Amino acid sequence: MVTKDTVSIDVHKTSHSRISELDFNNISFGKQFSDHMFMADFKNNQWGDAQIVPYGPVMMSPSTSALHYGQAIFEGMKAYKNDKGEVLLFRPLDNHKRINISAERMCMPAIPQEYFLEGLKQLIKMDEAWIPTAPGASLYIRPFIIGTDEFIGVKPSDTYRFYIFTSPAGVYYNKPVKVLVETSFIRAVEGGVGYVKASGNYGRSLFPTKLAQQRGYDQIIWTDARNHRYLEESGTMNLMFVIDDVLITAPLGDTILAGITRDSVLTLARDWKMKVQERKISIDEVIDAHKKGTLDEAFGTGTAATIAPISQIGFEGKDYILPDTKGRIFSNRVAQELENIRKGRAADIHNWMYKI
Ligand code: COI
């Protein structure tokens, strides 16, 4: 039993590490999972029963409420080893804040900071050997909460489980992405849940994305639900453009996830005295800039994808080819700076790295 702050975590170590199954020279995203996972349960209106156990299947009743009505939220975050071999999390307190924003919207209990952070710290310390150190690689961390009542009436669950597991991760996209502007299906509406990390937001994206992929694109750009003119997010990422040296991205609101990578990129751009605009941007404006030759860069930002350059935008039967990604000044610089901060090679002036 390990006690820290107010959380007592029961630790059951695996008797057989699976780390020898991991090829550190060939890591893809989301396929292999580290040795342990963290769990805590909410019942009688409080969180408790914190434990770390070997990663593996969990028993669940078929009537578990989350499986039916989608009371399921998650986070994506990453741990790194810097050049000194220290283990660091990137902005974990922001993930904690965001999971509780998701929890409120989905009528779920907030997870206290000590559970979130202590669970993370203990788990990642135990499995630190799983953190890859190759450029662009990291340990992807997946905290999530689900409603666990065995009840199929539609109401908020009275019981919940919080899990954290981790997965060594390489790059999410291994080449610049081709995107299609989606003008029939919608991801999010005003008053909806687009701004939270609810599992259903991802499930609903699969069919439109599959249709775009059948047409040769990698991802879609979601547009506003009313007019399908304003560009919102791309796949699982926030979307950014550099037009005439100005960095432009959709403003936060009901339909946009408050991405932590989004915020980090905007913060660095402002540090560098670049002009930044968080405002609506329409497909017409982007096509116009493309015609004028002022559309310098388009890219997605996200925890899993980090900075994903966009090479091509499809809209109404035409494809707009963007400038070669190698010559893109801002996105290459910001991707490198983020990697430098994570590896301890650049000053962490915003205190984003959290040593554990
Ligand atoms: C993340 O970037 O963490 C995401 O949420 C993407 C994930 C769904 C793969």
CATH class, domain 10-169, is alpha beta
pLDDT of residue 174: 86
| Ligand 1 neighbour 65 (Cβ under 6 A) | no
| Positions of the chain with pLDDT lower than 70, given as ranges | 1-5
Q: What is the CATH topology of the domain spanning 177-343?
A: D-amino Acid Aminotransferase; Chain A, domain 2 (3.20.10)
pLDDT of residue 5: 56
Hey, what are 269's tokens? 């751009």
CA of 302 to the centre of ligand 1 (A): 7
CA of 73 to the centre of ligand 1 (A): 12
Parts of the chain belonging to CATH 3.30.470.10: 10-169
pTM strictly above 0.85: yes
pLDDT of residue 212: 98
Parts of the chain belonging to CATH 3.20.10.10: 177-343
Look at residues 280, 299, 311 and name the one whose alpha carbon lies nearest to residue 338.
299
Count of beta carbons in the 10 Å neighbourhood of residue 211? 15
The separation between CA 289 and the C-alpha centre of its own chain, rounded to angstroms, equals 29
Residue-averaged pLDDT of the chain: 96
| Ligand 1 neighbour 194 (Cβ under 6 A) | no
CA of 74 to the centre of ligand 1 (A): 9
pLDDT of residue 1: 43
Count of beta carbons in the 10 Å neighbourhood of residue 189? 13
Nearest CA to ligand 1 atom 8: 236
| Ligand 1 neighbour 304 (Cβ under 6 A) | yes
